[in-house]
Amino acid sequence: MSKPVRLHSGEEGAIFGQSGKKWFAGSAVVPSDGSAGYEPGCVYVHTDGVAGTALYINDGTGTSCDFNAMSAAGGIDLNGLTATAAELNAHADASGRIVNVAAAATALALTNTLHANRLVVVPIITGAGLTITLPAATGSGDIYRVLNNGVQTVSLTITGLAGDLFHGRADVFTATITEGPDSFLADGTDDIKYTFNITTMGGIGKDEAELIDIATDAWLVHIRAYGSGTLATGFA
């Protein structure tokens, strides 16, 4: 069991740890670099400080301190941060990087908060064909990725909203030996969806779709699909 901290009257309100070194202290003068007796991470209150120099932290050791202001110099100033909490979570929340779709799902509306910059994994769908709908294209730069993780028996469609056009291509590979891979372009004028139809347009497993919100009413799309038979475009 650790011993309780104790106050020391030398420095103002100094608090010592079990090691005998200070965890917290304060005075009008910040200790000089190289001084001993302060735990790494010790917080020091500079009682004569002003904004940006009122709190210091020991980035050094217990025998040779290195106190730096808790500001830009100390590396924790967030004043320049412009990202929202949702944007930070979209890129940095490791626990939410994989979004699994329910097998019985027939419709899924993607949102920035839950699906942007994540991987949406589709299992073998047990109900009717699944339609995945993208949010409105606004030029946010958000990336949506969809993986067909099973050999489907029903169709899978990824669609934009009315007027949000697809730009890009689909590279389709086939399990039929006599057929080679082929590429199909979204026409950029009226295509707003891609359908994996389980045969000629892909859908037999490990199909991938990457859709990037590049501008108002515009998605940049790259499809990698696996099908069979005489290959055809899934754009429409």
Domain coordinates of the chain in residue numbers?
6-69, 85-227
pTM of the model: 0.67
Output 197 or 73, whichever has higher pLDDT: 197
Nearest Cα to 198, choosing from 174, 162, 170?
174
Interacting residues of 8 by C-beta distance below 8 A, sequence separation 6+: 14, 15, 16, 22
Token pair recorded at residue 68: 């730096």
Most confident of 49-53, 73-77, 78-82: 49-53
Residues 32, 160: Cα–Cα separation, whole Å: 61
Q: What average pLDDT does this structure show over 103-126? A: 96
The mean predicted confidence, pLDDT, of the chain is: 88
The mean-pLDDT minimum among 14-23, 61-70, 79-88 falls in 79-88
pLDDT at 184 over 60: yes
Q: What average pLDDT does this structure show over 185-196? A: 96
Residues 200, 50: Cα–Cα separation, whole Å: 69
The mean-pLDDT minimum among 87-101, 111-125, 140-154 falls in 87-101
Residue 60 main-chain phi, psi, to 5 deg: -95, -145
Output 163 or 85, whichever has higher pLDDT: 163
If pLDDT is split at 50, 70 and 90, which confidence band does 162 have?
Answer: very high
Q: What is the pLDDT of residue 77?
A: 57
Token pair recorded at residue 41: 């991470």
If pLDDT is split at 50, 70 and 90, which confidence band does 86 have?
Answer: confident
Q: What is the pLDDT of residue 58?
A: 93
Residues 190, 206: Cα–Cα separation, whole Å: 27
Q: Are 200 and 171 in contact (CB under 8 A)?
A: no
Nearest Cα to 209, choosing from 230, 231, 198, 193?
193
Q: What is the pLDDT of residue 123?
A: 96
The mean-pLDDT minimum among 2-11, 50-59, 155-164, 221-230 falls in 2-11
Question: How many helices and strands, by DSSP H and E, does the chain display?
Answer: 2, 17
Give per-residue pLDDT as tens, 30-73.
999 999 999 999 999 998 877 778 889 999 999 999 999 886 54
Residues 183, 199: Cα–Cα separation, whole Å: 15
If pLDDT is split at 50, 70 and 90, which confidence band does 90 have?
Answer: confident
